Chain A
């Protein structure tokens, strides 16, 4: 690993992790719909709007408020059988899914946490449309645990149990489209304390937590786990980076964010020195640009929808900002990019600022007239936005707010992780006031005895399990690892328990490879119950079929053909030893000359003849021994 670009210790770098993991319970958290996604075409469509409301503390959450300013409308895709009235916000939620609670108690125990006495479901306001109700149902199940790392213990602050949000499908006619299949899938939310100081430690904790999660009933695969990174430096502010997929990218992401915060701090110092300020007046400069060469602006001013939704070019004045809006704060991203990201949230396409003009068809002459109109002198700068008048106005309101924050320093934000290790503005950090109690769901009193029982029967962590089964059953590292990662180690051990003398490697490789191949070829491998597999392997153990023939029987089992029937149909039964002996005697007699000529050299061709005759229904080793004996006997 390369040297860190910054002295993180000196900068007071602090990081925390937040992990969301889908649990693999039978049904959803607050209704009894299937806990799965669907690719079927939607059968029902709902059109809805949301608006922020007061919490029980009487404050409107700032993140929720900002979302409402966007005045978004939502389309929800629903199903007759895959989703129900609960996801559609047309029926009160059902009681909490206790299977999900139990899985969470296992997780809590594995992380040395203290389970709460009473679980209270809360409503967390989220009005970006991802929840039909306008809030996410969530609660704290356990607090104050830890996981061990080589950098010392890391505190696990809370374990929450909450519902997943609806799945964003896209946009249609200016409306965001969501599918309700994911809404209500149980999620465990694990939050570490923000006291990690080294990106490698964060990586290690993420790995550890991944191991813990995978030892329980959680969903696997793309999109079933989401990781967020909290990060701050001493003079900066807390920023939450959502959706960090690649753990290896984490050090780069940390570096870029630290760089961003340092640059923003530097910019704020310069702005303060210049006594900078942001004028809140929004100027209409449409007239100044009505004959502009800029195609972008022209196409907006001349928009055919102008009659219904009037368009305009609006501008604001930023005193003392000149040269700083164009300054790079993250690789390839400028302060202006951040302003623009805030504006885009209000539905405009982007903005132009002093530091990049003249350009994009806007001439120096036009810049001069704008400067004159806004009384721009010295270090002053302007920002202009073209678009639907209302949207452009809202966008500039947001830019004004962001620019004012730039004077103060680093704003607290939720940002989205990008693939290149950069981040992009999402929304302000939510405040505690977005939480209020979910009155439709009764409090769940956690039975302490039940917690003790669960804690006494905790699952093995995956890496421990892998080491153990590798050793105990004499498996290769690959087989042991595949069994664990495919979540089939338990199945393997159950079969072994019933057939202790059966070859472990045979069982393991059939589970890991044969069944996987069948599944890939669209065989319904869900029909392969443990008892069915035991029955099949017993055929080998009892010497009824050769080991190599299990694949045929397993394949048939996927098509509801019983093992015995399969053996009969495919004529798999091993030949009786006497039949084999007789057949070999016959071969020996037919080839007696060759034996006498070639002595042991006849072994190979005779073996070939014999095996061709038995067509796999005789054990190779036995045939080989019998032929060998016969050659010895007949050599002279």
Chain B
């Protein structure tokens, strides 16, 4: 934030701009240091000075006199250029940066962590990455992941497609963690990929010495050179800086607001782990697409609007009626338990059926599969043509329905797509192993 109104007048009167060394004199105290930009949470009468010791203090200008000591020396981030050290011996890996914590820097304008790095900056701040591959870095967006949209997923899929088409042996996507699993899931349906597409991020921003970004990034590069040709989420497996999990992109979920090991595979275990620059397959009996198995294909037609609605005691059918009224292309319900809705929802669900809007049901339990045959309310949902999708997690059902409704208007075809395992997003059998271990 810049200084405004009376603060601006106060500074302008002495011809002072951000970066100048100034002395501020008050009745009984004076401060000398560099004028910093104003964080938005600071008091309206306060200017921020960085003293010689490196400390910032906020000084109220009430009764203060200011004097300029030294002209403008605006601080800026400058990194040494990195020699990319291209070589035929190494794999070609593209890093696409979308913003988020893995690629962020302190923005002292607002005092917040901002996704301000370009992918190239990221590479320069992490020069050791060039040891792993011929790195081609590219910033496609610069947004916080809560601002991701299906339109941006479509664009991302196209970028990935182009990179692979241009010869990338693997693609790494730097992404904010909040909605990483939505993007991963959407990409898994839009792309048939012959190479790994690895999405990664950080829970501690990359401006910190303790950031998980570095291990996540290097592990992702290692994963992108492996033979697991799927959309993967690569993040810390545990709270330790020892190894990362490679989670199937449409099976993982952010399960903790702040821990490094926030991403967990639901209803399966991670496909593999990356430890000491080595990919270790977790369970050889779990199938995955191998490198080169699928020919490269892009199908990024997504429907315009799909809703994700949670069922809870007290929920009313107004929600569903509104989506029907607004012409949504589909609705995913996060049902209770095995996949249930309260009785008062049925009129609206019938309306959706009459309007030819697919209604998919998942479970807010996350773990386990839906089964609408056990209780009468489930059987009633089946009569209303609601589409149960087994052990698919709600977020994946949401992205898949966007994709399915982008492929067809025919509700039977959509049902068939939704209930067919396309990219490992669902399974007919569930192991005891695949539940929270406590």
A435 B54 Cβ-Cβ under 8 A? yes
**Contact residues on B (Cβ < 8 Å of other chain), bracket:** 35 or more
B258 A122 Cβ-Cβ under 8 A? no
Contacts of A431 in B (CB 8 A): 54
Residue of B whose beta carbon sits closest to that of A432: B54
Residue of A whose beta carbon sits closest to that of B62: A117
Q: How far apart are the CA atoms of A114 and B57 in the complex, in Å?
A: 12
Taking A114-B29, A158-B55, A437-B108 as given, write out 9 further A-B residue pairs in contact, using a Cβ cutoff of 8 Å, ordered by the A residue number: A47-B240, A56-B75, A120-B57, A120-B58, A122-B55, A133-B208, A133-B210, A439-B112, A439-B113
| Secondary structure dominating the interface of B | loop
Given contacts A117-B59, A437-B106, A54 and B209 within 8 Å (CB-CB): no
Interface set, chain A 444-482, CB cutoff 8 A to B: 445
B193 interface residue, CB < 8 Å from A? no
A117 B209 Cβ-Cβ under 8 A? no
Residue of A whose beta carbon sits closest to that of B58: A118
Q: How far apart are the CA atoms of A433 and B53 in the complex, in Å?
A: 9
How many chain A residues touch B (Cβ–Cβ < 8 Å)? 52
A50 B113 Cβ-Cβ under 8 A? no
Contacts of B210 in A (CB 8 A): 48, 50, 89, 132-134
B55 A53 Cβ-Cβ under 8 A? no
Contacts of B31 in A (CB 8 A): 143
Interface set, chain A 110-151, CB cutoff 8 A to B: 114, 116-120, 122-125, 127, 132-135, 138-140, 143-144
- Can you give 17 contacting A-B residue pairs, CB < 8 Å? A49-B215, A49-B241, A54-B79, A64-B209, A88-B239, A91-B258, A117-B57, A119-B57, A120-B48, A120-B55, A138-B55, A158-B55, A431-B54, A432-B54, A436-B207, A437-B106, A445-B58
Q: How far apart are the CA atoms of A119 and B41 in the complex, in Å?
A: 12
Contacts of A443 in B (CB 8 A): 39, 41-43, 58, 111
A58 interface residue, CB < 8 Å from B? yes
Contacts of A51 in B (CB 8 A): 209, 211, 214
B28 interface residue, CB < 8 Å from A? yes
Distance (whole angstroms) from the CB of A176 to the closest CB of chain B: 14
Q: How far apart are the CA atoms of A124 and B56 in the complex, in Å?
A: 12
B60 interface residue, CB < 8 Å from A? yes
B209 A133 Cβ-Cβ under 8 A? yes
Contacts of A91 in B (CB 8 A): 257-259
A134 B46 Cβ-Cβ under 8 A? no
A85 interface residue, CB < 8 Å from B? yes
A122 B207 Cβ-Cβ under 8 A? no
Question: What 0/1 readout, one digit per residue, does chain A (32-66) give for beta carbons within 8 Å of chain B?
Answer: 00000000000000111111111011100000100
Q: How far apart are the CA atoms of A626 and B80 in the complex, in Å?
A: 99
B204 interface residue, CB < 8 Å from A? yes
Q: Which of A118, A140, A439 contacts B106 (CB 8 A)?
A: A439
B51 interface residue, CB < 8 Å from A? yes
Q: How far apart are the CA atoms of A64 and B55 in the complex, in Å?
A: 17
A56 B58 Cβ-Cβ under 8 A? no
Distance (whole angstroms) from the CB of A289 to the closest CB of chain B: 32
Q: Which of A53, A88, A140, A433 contacts B209 (CB 8 A)?
A: A53
Distance (whole angstroms) from the CB of B219 to the closest CB of chain A: 13
Q: How far apart are the CA atoms of A124 and B55 in the complex, in Å?
A: 9
A590 interface residue, CB < 8 Å from B? no
| Max count, chain B CB within 10 A of own CB: residue among A92, A117, A122 | A117
A114 B28 Cβ-Cβ under 8 A? yes
A319 interface residue, CB < 8 Å from B? no
A442 interface residue, CB < 8 Å from B? yes
B240 A48 Cβ-Cβ under 8 A? yes
B29 A144 Cβ-Cβ under 8 A? yes
Q: How far apart are the CA atoms of A463 and B433 in the complex, in Å?
A: 67
A140 B57 Cβ-Cβ under 8 A? yes
B77 interface residue, CB < 8 Å from A? yes
A134 B258 Cβ-Cβ under 8 A? no
Q: How far apart are the CA atoms of A127 and B214 in the complex, in Å?
A: 15
A90 interface residue, CB < 8 Å from B? yes
Distance (whole angstroms) from the CB of A99 to the closest CB of chain B: 21
Q: How far apart are the CA atoms of A140 and B43 in the complex, in Å?
A: 17
B57 A52 Cβ-Cβ under 8 A? no
Residue of B whose beta carbon sits closest to that of A44: B239
Contacts of B42 in A (CB 8 A): 118, 443
A90 B260 Cβ-Cβ under 8 A? yes
Contacts of A214 in B (CB 8 A): none
Q: How far apart are the CA atoms of A51 and B160 in the complex, in Å?
A: 30
A434 interface residue, CB < 8 Å from B? yes
Contacts of B79 in A (CB 8 A): 54, 58
Q: How far apart are the CA atoms of A150 and B413 in the complex, in Å?
A: 93
Distance (whole angstroms) from the CB of B58 to the closest CB of chain A: 3
B206 interface residue, CB < 8 Å from A? yes
A116 B76 Cβ-Cβ under 8 A? no
Interface set, chain B 77-121, CB cutoff 8 A to A: 77-79, 105-106, 108, 111-113
Question: What 0/1 readout, one digit per residue, does chain B (18-33) give for beta carbons within 8 Å of chain A?
Answer: 0000000000110100
Q: How far apart are the CA atoms of A409 and B112 in the complex, in Å?
A: 42
Contacts of B58 in A (CB 8 A): 116-120, 443, 445
Contacts of A58 in B (CB 8 A): 75-79
Contacts of A114 in B (CB 8 A): 28-29
Residue of A whose beta carbon sits closest to that of B260: A90
Contacts of A56 in B (CB 8 A): 75, 77, 106, 108
Q: How far apart are the CA atoms of A433 and B58 in the complex, in Å?
A: 19
B344 interface residue, CB < 8 Å from A? no
Q: How far apart are the CA atoms of A338 and B395 in the complex, in Å?
A: 61
Distance (whole angstroms) from the CB of B78 to the closest CB of chain A: 5
Residue of A whose beta carbon sits closest to that of B26: A114
Distance (whole angstroms) from the CB of A293 to the closest CB of chain B: 39
B242 interface residue, CB < 8 Å from A? yes
B12 interface residue, CB < 8 Å from A? no
Contacts of B60 in A (CB 8 A): 117-118
Contacts of A437 in B (CB 8 A): 39, 56, 106, 108, 111
A118 B209 Cβ-Cβ under 8 A? no
Distance (whole angstroms) from the CB of B102 to the closest CB of chain A: 13
| Max count, chain B CB within 10 A of own CB: residue among A48, A123, A433 | A48
Contacts of B260 in A (CB 8 A): 90
Q: How far apart are the CA atoms of A138 and B56 in the complex, in Å?
A: 10
Q: How far apart are the CA atoms of A88 and B241 in the complex, in Å?
A: 12
B52 interface residue, CB < 8 Å from A? yes
Distance (whole angstroms) from the CB of B116 to the closest CB of chain A: 11
Question: What 0/1 readout, one digit per residue, does chain A (78-105) give for beta carbons within 8 Å of chain B?
Answer: 0000000100111110000000000000
A52 B112 Cβ-Cβ under 8 A? no
Distance (whole angstroms) from the CB of A446 to the closest CB of chain B: 9
Q: How far apart are the CA atoms of A140 and B260 in the complex, in Å?
A: 31
